[in-house]
């Protein structure tokens, strides 16, 4: 019974169409499972309200469970085919948004073992999770680095917007920051703002109020509070201390 219940959470198969095919998950509860897909032939478009993912033969893609999207499958040489690996349980505290994946050589070796025989058994389920672990192992730091770089470019960008540009859910981005840095994205954003404020205090004669407005703080008092929490000095104390040290 436990054996059957466990394997009921997986659905591996090869899907083939010989004419244009469309699947609409925009108006229902979204994708019924998490899916890893491998395009074998033809072309596809995965379309959501926020993004469009274009796929061709050889591409690997991911669709998260519950994600609302529409898929359009177009044959090439009278066939569009792909390997579909559906699974209920995502083995990490975060999930990615719908996207094209770029697995490395090690990850592709695991995936090819399933593509050769796309059936659900102990080995192929193990290969699937080995693929996920290998694929995700290098992704968290990359996503965190990209998110921080975006904060440096636009410290006022919403976390939800940053997450979307990193192709990851907002909750997933929070989980990655906690896992990698033991901080929230908002805490890191405040650190970035403090760094920018320090640079402005040292390289310009702008007033504290002007710097506060330039960095997008709601008030100069809130700016002082954030700055003090990061440096243990007020903006004026920081500016004076650096002037005297020089």
| pLDDT (tens place) for every residue of the chain, 246 residues total | 567 778 889 999 999 999 999 999 988 888 999 999 999 999 999 998 878 899 999 999 999 888 889 999 999 999 999 999 999 988 876 667 788 998 889 999 999 999 999 999 999 999 999 999 888 765 555 688 889 888 988 888 999 999 888 878 888 899 888 887 888 999 999 988 998 999 899 889 999 999 999 999 999 999 999 999 888 999 999 888 866 554
Q: Do 11 and 73 belong together in one domain?
A: yes
* Same domain, residue pair 202 and 94: no
Does residue 133 share a domain with residue 15?
yes
Instruction: Tell me the residue range of the domain where 171 lies.
Output: 139-183
Total domain count, the chain: 3
For residue 51, give the nearest of 2, 91, 96 by alpha carbon.
Answer: 96
List % helix, strand, coil for the chain (3-state, nearest 5): 50, 20, 30
What is residue 203's three-state secondary structure? helix
Please tell me whether the overall predicted TM-score, pTM, comes out greater than 0.75 for this model. Answer: no
Instruction: Tell me if 11 is assigned to some domain.
Output: yes
CA–CA separation, 85 vs 77, rounded Å? 24
**CB 103 within 8 Å of CB 135:** yes
Same domain, 58 and 95: yes
């Amino acid at each position: 019974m436990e054996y059957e219940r466990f394997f009921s959470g997986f659905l591996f198969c090869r899907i083939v169409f010989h004419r244009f095919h469309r699947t609409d998950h925009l108006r229902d509860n979204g994708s019924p499972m998490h899916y890893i897909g491998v395009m074998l032939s033809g072309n596809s478009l995965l379309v959501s309200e926020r993004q469009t993912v274009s796929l061709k033969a050889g591409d690997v893609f991911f669709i998260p469970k519950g994600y609302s999207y529409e898929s359009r499958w177009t044959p090439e040489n009278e066939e569009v085919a792909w390997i579909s690996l559906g699974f209920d349980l995502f083995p990490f505290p975060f999930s990615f948004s719908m996207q094209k994946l770029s697995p490395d050589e090690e990850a592709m070796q695991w995936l090819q073992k399933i593509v050769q025989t796309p059936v659900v058994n102990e080995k192929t389920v193990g290969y699937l999770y080995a693929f996920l672990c290998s694929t995700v192992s290098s992704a968290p730091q990359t996503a965190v680095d990209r998110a921080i770089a975006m904060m440096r470019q636009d410290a006022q960008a919403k976390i939800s917007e940053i997450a979307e540009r990193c192709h990851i859910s907002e909750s997933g981005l929070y989980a990655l920051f906690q896992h990698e840095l033991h901080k929230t994205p908002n805490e890191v954003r405040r650190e970035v703002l403090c760094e920018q404020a320090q640079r402005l205090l040292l390289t310009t004669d702008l007033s504290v109020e002007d710097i506060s407005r330039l960095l997008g703080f709601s008030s100069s008092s809130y700016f002082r509070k954030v700055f003090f929490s990061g440096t243990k000095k007020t903006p004026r104390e920081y500016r004076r201390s650096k002037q005297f040290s020089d």
